[in-house]
């Protein structure tokens, strides 16, 4: 084991005292302590959570308004009841089960063609 002389013990003690003094000097003074910094951080986090909650409620309300406007616009865009619309909702009804298959796009194309072309296609 190493043996220290009296001079080395005195130097070691002085270094310890100097470290303790510098540490106390750094943590003292008008600087805020850890608890006040922690409380400020908690306060900021609560403010951010409140802003996030407010923003979410704002956007959810806006989405409700947009959905309502879209449904009103869709209702306004529906035309009068057509020949395949029995319930008057503006859309063609589906065929009954087991009934003839209704192909609206094929029938529309066939209806819009010239009468001489009907036999060809």
Indicate whether 67 belongs to any domain.
yes
Indicate whether 64 belongs to any domain.
yes
Cα–Cα distances (Å) from 100 to 1, 20, 94, 97, 103, in that order, read: 105, 97, 10, 9, 10
29 pLDDT above the threshold of 70: no
Q: Which residue range(s) make up the domain with 57?
A: 35-71
Indicate whether 46 belongs to any domain.
yes
Those residues whose C-beta lies under 8 Å from the C-beta of residue 86, and which sit 6 or more positions away, are 93
Query: At 82, is the secondary structure helix, strand, or coil?
Result: coil
Indicate whether 96 belongs to any domain.
no
Indicate whether 14 belongs to any domain.
no
Indicate whether 111 belongs to any domain.
no
pTM of the model: 0.40
If one counts the domains in the chain, the total is 1
Which tens digits make up the pLDDT trace of 45-60?
Answer: 999 999 999 999 999 9
Those residues whose C-beta lies under 8 Å from the C-beta of residue 81, and which sit 6 or more positions away, are 88, 89, 90
């Amino acid at each position: 084991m190493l043996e220290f002389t009296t001079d080395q013990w005195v130097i070691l003690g002085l270094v310890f005292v100097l470290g303790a003094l510098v540490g106390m000097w750094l943590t003292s003074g008008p600087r805020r302590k850890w608890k006040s910094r922690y409380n400020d951080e908690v306060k900021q986090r609560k403010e951010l959570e409140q802003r996030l909650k407010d923003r979410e409620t704002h956007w959810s309300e806006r989405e409700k308004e947009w959905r309502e406007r879209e449904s009103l616009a869709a209702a306004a865009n529906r035309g009068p009841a057509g020949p395949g619309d029995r319930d008057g909702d503006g859309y063609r009804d589906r065929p009954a089960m087991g009934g003839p298959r209704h192909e609206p796009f094929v029938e529309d194309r066939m209806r819009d063609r010239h009468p001489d072309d009907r036999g060809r296609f």
